[in-house]
């Protein structure tokens, strides 16, 4: 009989232990899943923090990331620039004049794109703020239509904000209305979010940018090979200015200075002193690393 009771007790203990083990296993599994979820969130936040406004770490799936734009820039010089240069020289322009025209065209396209991108951000932010103001005003009108709290209720809750021993009878005071002043607070991070939005839609805006730039300037009398060159410049420059921070062209290399081989390849002749820039070097951002070398003509070395 004792053996039977002992066996039953043991069986009960085993069942109870198995139940506890199962419960603990479920808890462990739940904790593992929660931990995995937290790790994933932490990595995502860390990644966002690391890549936010950090041009050195780019989204590899972006076909118009800075490294790709550097390749497009190089191809633009090899292809459309060459065709446009030939079109200019065949139309009667001297070599140096044709080179200068193409250089200025590129830089003017960049300034145009930078200005339009800035205007778009400003106008989009204004629209966002107008929407936010309209929303705020609607909320204020709702608040103003509500019945104001009674003085007695207001005194009661304020009295209970302090320790009980400090109560010295009921306080009297003037009835105070809630603050009805319209206070419009700029939504947090709106500027950075708008920059991100502009970049996301940037590719679809390129045809509009091109049409806007050429409208009123281009007609059938213009040199035909210039059109694809100008459009490609606008595409490149637009994609440059919507980066965060924007990519830039070299603007510090001046005539008569030492020709930096790290920044420029030599054009038609060799030398150590710069005569003029044919095609400016491309940088990741202001004072940033070089993405694509430019092309420059040096003064002919003395023999």
For 258, the 3-state DSSP assignment is strand
pTM given for the model: 0.62
Task: Give 17-40 pLDDT, tens digit per residue.
Answer: 778 888 888 888 888 888 877 766
Check if the beta carbon of residue 272 is closer than 8 Å to that of residue 244. Answer: no
| Residue that terminates a domain, selected from 220, 244, 268 | 244
Q: How many CA atoms lie within 13 A of 102 on its CB side?
A: 31
Which tokens belong to 288? 């940033």
DSSP code, position 248: E
Does some domain include residue 12?
A: no
If one counts the domains in the chain, the total is 2
Residue 303's domain comprises 247-303
- Tell me which range, 87-101, 146-160, 194-208, is most confidently predicted by mean pLDDT: 87-101
One domain, residues 97 and 119:
yes
**Which of 244, 263, 284 is a domain's end point?**
244
Strands (E), the chain: 248-249, 264-266, 274-279, 282-283, 290-292, 294-298
Q: For residue range 160-214, what is the model confidence (pLDDT) as tens digits?
A: 556 666 555 544 444 444 444 444 555 555 566 666 666 777 788 899 999 999 9
Q: Do 239 and 252 have their domain in common?
A: no
């Amino acid at each position: 009989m004792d053996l039977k009771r002992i066996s039953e007790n043991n069986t009960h203990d085993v069942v109870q232990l198995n139940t506890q083990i199962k419960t603990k296993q479920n808890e462990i599994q739940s904790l593992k899943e929660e931990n995995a979820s937290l790790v994933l969130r932490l990595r995502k936040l860390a990644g966002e923090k690391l890549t936010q406004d950090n041009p050195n770490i780019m989204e590899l799936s972006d076909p118009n990331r800075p490294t790709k734009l550097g390749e497009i820039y190089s191809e633009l010089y090899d292809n459309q620039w060459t065709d446009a240069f030939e079109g200019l020289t065949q139309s009667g322009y001297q070599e140096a004049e044709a080179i200068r025209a193409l250089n200025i065209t590129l830089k003017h396209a960049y300034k145009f794109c930078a200005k339009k991108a800035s205007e778009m951000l400003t106008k989009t932010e204004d629209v966002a703020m107008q929407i936010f103001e309209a929303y705020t005003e609607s909320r204020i009108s709702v608040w103003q239509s509500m019945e104001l709290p009674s003085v007695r209720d207001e005194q009661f809750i304020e009295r209970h904000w302090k320790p009980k021993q400090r109560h010295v009878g009921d306080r009297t005071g003037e009835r105070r209305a809630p603050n009805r002043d319209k206070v419009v607070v700029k939504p947090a991070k709106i500027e950075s979010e708008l920059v991100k939005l502009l970049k996301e839609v940037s590719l679809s805006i390129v045809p509009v940018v091109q049409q806007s730039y050429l409208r009123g300037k281009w007609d059938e009398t213009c040199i035909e090979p210039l059109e694809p060159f100008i459009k490609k410049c606008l595409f490149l420059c637009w994609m440059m200015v919507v980066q965060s921070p924007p990519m830039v062209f070299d603007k510090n290399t001046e005539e008569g200075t030492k020709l930096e081989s790290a920044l420029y390849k030599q054009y038609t002749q060799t030398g150590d002193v710069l005569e003029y820039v044919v095609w400016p070097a491309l940088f990741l951002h202001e004072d940033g690393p070089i993405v694509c070398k430019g092309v420059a003509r040096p003064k002919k070395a003395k023999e």
